[in-house]
Amino acid sequence: MFDEARSTRTGTVARGSVMPKFVFDFAEGNKDLKDLLGGKGANLAEMTNLGLPVPPGFTITTDACRHYLKNGENPSGLTEEIEQHLVSMEEAAGRKLGQPDDPLLVSVRSGAKFSMPGMMETVLNVGLNDESVQGLVIQSGDPRFAWDSYRRLVQMFGKTVLGIEGEKFERHLEEAKHAKGSTSDLVLDAGDLQKLVEMFKQVVQDETGKPFPQTPREQLIMAVEAVFHSWNTDRARLYRRQEKIADDLGTAVNVMQMVFGNLGEGSGTGVAFTRDPATGRSGVYGDYLPKAQGEDVVSGIRNTLSLADLDDLDPTSYAELVRIMHVLESHYKDLCDIEFTIERGKLWMLQTRVGKRTAAAAFRIAVQLVDEKVIDLRTAMTRVTGAQLAMLMFPQFDPKAPRKCIAKGMAASPGAAVGKAVFDSATAEEWVRKGEEVILVRRETNPDDLGGMVVSQGILTSRGGKTSHAAVVARGMGRTCVVGAEALQVDAKLRVASTAGGARFSEGDVVSIDGGTGEVFLGEVPVSPSAVANALRGQEQEVTDEDEKELLSSVKRIMEQADKERRMDVRANADTPEDAERARMFGAQGIGLCRTEHMFLGPRRQIVERVILADSPEQRQSALEELLPLQREDFVGILEAMDGLTVVIRLLDPPLHEFLPDFTSLSIKVALAQAGGNPNLEAEYLLRQVSRMHEQNPMLGTRGVRLGLVVPDLFQLQVRAVAEAAARLKKAGKDPRPEVMVPLVATVEELVIVRLKSEETLRKVAEETGIDVKVAIGTMIELPRAAVTAGRIAEEAEFFSFGTNDLTQTTWGFSRDDVEAAFFPTYTDAGIFSVSPFESIDVNGVGRLVSIAAKEGKEVRPGLEVGVCGEHGGDPDSIHFFESIDLDYVSCSPFRVPVARLESGRATVLGSGSISSDTR
């Protein structure tokens, strides 16, 4: 007996032995089998089970793909399984794949677990050849349709399966259209298309040395393997890195009986959304193209009609589509994205999925579904992400600023984007590497433009609709996007865009685009703060727009739920009273990291230099007395701003050399003076002192606790300043809650020495002021040795805070400032990293050290407070990991506090297992 998950992946053969099952009929699966059938296959199965009109077909599993990618060949038995399911499809249809008189044709499409729009391959009309095209002419009664279908197959197969450059086919197509005096392929008649087929077949012969395959079953197997192979194309790998999708998932392949939207009158194809994916408004949204196949819609090569136009053209199909949209949204309890085809008045469903949406739409839709009593607010909170919240906190165009609108397209993905216009992806990437901000301007985008789309501030196209490639990918990445700006004539060769009204801009000219309105402006338009950011910091402004009001209300309700659900506290990293106040307004529950080194910049640096280089106790004491009141006032301001909340103050951490004169500059100064015959005795003395303390690798030298032991008075000056500041505030009726954190501890003995001296200083201040201030003393865990000896360190530390920036550097042996530019791109391209370990916690390495240290520390000291204060404290994926190992708080930059609050709430709920959510 097998469990359910295993039984779906296996089949039984003679004598009870088990062989893998690699092919599933649509009727055999369901929406919960995305790991095995991919998102598309699982949802096709679900629609089939709901009794919706889905063409017959079957899904080849991700297991088969992974085997192919690992071994370079299909798994044993796959071809036979495909044949069995194909025969069943042929028997049900009453015709065979590619039979000469009445051919059955199929599509072969990718379908990974997570949607990767346009990143992998599709082949349509598989089964056509020189004989069956004649049968399709007779069967359809439409020669143009038949030859257009064959033309599409040869072109797609040549590019996708045989790896021929698309331009070699596109050139012939453009010449044919030009000969007819048009830019549309609709002007080409059957004779034109038949000639194109011959030209395309000749391209195949010339490029591969072999004729176009005429055996339908050979076409099918080759197409399946091409889809498998497309999992590892450059654009697919780049998209996965961008979306943090694992490289080892593989894609399923869906083989489906062809239905034709280009079969004359009463036929067409489209994409529909059950709610507006850009705004979240309820209604019927989408694009429709009569006499077209699916790729014509998503490629953006033809401008689309609205679904309202479909109601005029074919009210029966429209009514059926609206009914099915309601069924799907009710079933999935979320916005659904639907691909459909109408063949001579018959509606067919080709795909559905939970639709990608903009950040604003995500929040609105989640709360709308609560108000409609479809889901509860707890579930709604899991339907949005911290990344989406961060997008909403970005500035928008200042509504009062002057601007010159030169075109208006469709608002595909909101936001305000300003940059220099570039007309191809490679230029976008090159200019961004030089520090420029760019807007990618294209007639329409295709998957090969992904690199430029990733780095651009925004994307502008003159063609396409809200479901075109540009729109879908931009929404998924959170990029501002305007599509279908028809007034713009984009000339990529001349690198210029112009309008009939005389407006124009060239590459390098600054343009601004508004993804919320679809407007395109010449020049730079100033931006204004986000209303969402203002609301989150408690500075609500008067809002008259109803959509904006709904959005602010939705964000507020979800954030209240997140704060109610989350287990971890959220603190901020802040070094000034202004940062502390800002963090508190954003909802921070204290300061998890106050970096004191930032307080010693400017003139104070010279005072610290005097402390370090002092020749006598008197000189050192004089400099310390000069520093004390300055440091005390720093802490008064921060503790007052965070009154009643914990403030973790890290003692001085930077390397010794940062407080000393520059060794190289000083050496040159001395050498020049000696060469000029006027030795500089003071400089020579300084050089001897600096030479004595010079280090080859200062980041692993005299810094942190080591500096505090070498120059102990510095640490004790800071401890005294903290205690005196807290005593003053407490005397004034305030509630200061400082904690002192010792950095870079590697062994418990270091901490013992600093702690004993600090406790002595705290006792002296209590005696002097008459006020006893409780100051917990803990340590920063940022070295591997500290992590693996955390049990011993916990005997002396009252709290742990993980400095994951340095812990990542010391665990990997990386110098962050050097390696990110030097070889991280190579590591990413090679698949060693899917994301930088400085951006998201390395769960298996650094994360394991954090987990070990937290567990062993709490075993020794049950009340030990454990948190994280590195950059990972504001990273959504890292927050979910920290929740899973029971850390008590995360700390991040003030602006990221709302993101951390939301993600901490989501992590608590999703980690409990009571709700599952996939926001990709």
Active centre residues (catalytic)? 469, 869
Inter-axis angle of helices 216-230 and 143-160, to 10 degrees?
50
Phi, psi angles (nearest 5°) of residue 305:
-95, 165
Q: Which residue carries 């990542």 as its tokens? A: 808
Judging by beta carbons within 10 Å of its beta carbon (0-12, 13-18, 19+), is residue 356 exposed, middle or buried?
buried
Burial class of 539 by CB neighbour count within 10 A (0 to 12, 13 to 18, 19+): exposed
Gap between the Cα atoms of 648 and 777, Å rounded:
9
Cα dihedral sign for 847, 852, 858, 864?
negative
Contact 645, 737 (CB under 8 A): yes
Under 8 Å CB-to-CB from 16, ≥6 apart: which residues? none
Residue pair 483/471 in contact by the 8 Å Cβ criterion: yes
**What φ, ψ does residue 515 adopt, rounded to 5°?**
-75, -5
| CA torsion through residues 660, 663, 669, 670, sign | positive
Euclidean distance between CA atoms 898 and 149, whole angstroms: 52
Question: With contact defined as beta carbons under 8 Å apart, do 485 and 499 qualify?
Answer: no
CB 683, CB 669: distance < 8 Å: yes
User: Which residue type sits at 775?
Assistant: V
CA 443 to chain centre: 25
Distance CA(497)–CA(427), nearest Å, equals 16
Residue 409 neighbours by CB distance under 10 Å: 25
Other beta carbons within 10 angstroms of residue 920's beta carbon come to: 15
Residue 426 burial (CB count, 10 A): 12
Q: Which strand (E) or helix (H) includes residue 252?
A: strand 251-257
Cα separation of 673 and 679, whole Å?
A: 5
| Residue for token pair 């990273």 | 875
Q: What b/e sequence results for 628-651 when a residue is b if at least 16 CB atoms lie within 10 Å of its CB, and e otherwise?
A: eeebbebbbbbbbbbeebbbbbbb
Q: Dig out the tokens for 646 from the structure.
A: 């914990």
β-bridge partners, 800: 779, 866
Helices (H) and strands (E) in the chain, counts: 37, 33
Q: Using an 8 Å Cβ cutoff, are 59 and 108 in contact? A: no
Sheet holding 410-413, edge to edge: 404-408, 519-522, 510-514, 416-422, 438-442, 458-461, 480-483, 410-413
Amino acid identity, residue 181? G
Helix/strand/coil for 97: strand
* 3-state class percentages of the chain: helix first, strand second, coil last, to nearest 5: 50, 20, 30
- Pairing, β 865-868 against β 251-257: unpaired
Structure-block tokens of residue 43: 């949802």
3 phi and psi, to 5 degrees? -75, 170
Distance, in Å, from the CA atom of 903 to the CA atom of 874, rounded to the nearest integer, reads 9
**What would the 3-class secondary structure string for 544-580 be?**
CCHHHHHHHHHHHHHHHHHHHHCCCEEEEECCCHHHH
Helices (H), ranges, 130-231: 132-140, 143-160, 166-179, 190-208, 216-230
- Count other Cβ atoms within 10 Å, centred on residue 657: 18
